[in-house]
Amino acid sequence: MRLDASAYERCTLCPRRCGARRAEGQRGVCGCTSELLVARAALHFWEEPPISGEAGSGAIFFSGCPLRCVFCQNETISHEGFGIGVSTARLTEMMLELQDQGALNINLVTPLHYAPHVVVAIKRARENGLTIPIVCNTSGYERPELIRELGDVIDIWLTDFKYASSDLARQLSGADDYPAIATEALAEMLSLLRARGGRRVTADGTMLQGIIVRHLVLPGHADDSCAVVSRVWEIAGNEVDLSIMNQYTPNARCRTRKDGLQNAVSEEEYDLVVCHADEVGFENIWWQEGGTVGESFIPAFDATGVRRD
């Protein structure tokens, strides 16, 4: 797979392989042309402890997404396309600025439909003094070939595994191939991690290299969540950290539904999934205490830290 400007001519970067002529201004399934759009670049304190610590993660939020999840928590940027157009050079500058602010890492949030830009920016940032780890924060719906190409620039994979059921993936994200793609993607991430010597953390628990698999528990679907946990265990066992999230917040579309997505996740549902993860053998489990949370975990997408060139 070529990761240069030609990748945007007939785009096949994501599993949709929509063939959009993004270089000519046509929008792909991700909602984007070849113009690099960024919605926010700032310290972020709400990731898992190995990522955010106390200093914060240097999160750069990209616009657009190849998945079309009806319950998306970041729909302002994933569905509505908010973002500021910037160059690859400006993206490099943002990484270095976040490092100067004390970020533990550079956390690229949903970046891989811009992979040609991202790879160049990371390499330039390294050449100009970037020393902290690079985190790829992804939906898990990624081509294994693309992940393989990024093996030398990504240190930490912060990846979702949303569904075990193809039917549920089709209903909620329009992607019945999600479970198969996410399985292949995670297996490729694990292969790359093994080649680099496996999980590495500092004495205080800050991750330098590794994989954190995230799963958002959805109301009414604890059975599928448990199946996801089992699938991740089968693929990777304790070579990965598992993060089980209860922060599902019904967005405007979901609040009018009648299939359960208008509700919050119950404590019983969430506890069932966490207990299952413990029972199958996961040692590094991250969970959220207390009740389900609201919009406080969703940052303000207001172009903080972006600035046009």
Q: What is the pLDDT of residues 191-235, one digit of tens each?
A: 999 999 999 999 999 999 999 999 999 999 999 999 999 999 999
What does pTM read for this prediction?
Answer: 0.95
Q: What is the pLDDT of residues 44-60, one digit of tens each?
A: 999 999 999 999 999 99
pLDDT of residue 76: 83
Domains in the chain with CATH codes: 38-297 (3.20.20.70)
pLDDT of residue 75: 81
SS3 annotation, the chain: CCCCHHHHCCCCCCCCCCCCCHHHCCCCCCCCCCCCEEEEEEEECCCCHHHHCCCCEEEEEECCCCCCCCCCCCHHHHCCCCCEECCHHHHHHHHHHHHHCCCCCEEEECCHHHHHHHHHHHHHHHHCCCCCCEEEEECCCCCHHHHHHCCCCCCEEEEECCCCCHHHHHHHHCCCCHHHHHHHHHHHHHHHHHHCCCCEECCCCCEEEEEEEEEECCCCCHHHHHHHHHHHHHHHHHHCEEEEECCCCCCCCHHHCCCCCCCCCCHHHHHHHHHHHHHHCCCCEEECCCCCCCHHHCCCCCCCCCCCC
Q: What is the pLDDT of residues 53-93, one digit of tens each?
A: 999 999 999 999 999 899 998 888 888 879 999 999 999 99
Q: What is the pLDDT of residues 239-283, one digit of tens each?
A: 999 999 999 988 888 898 888 899 999 999 999 999 999 999 999
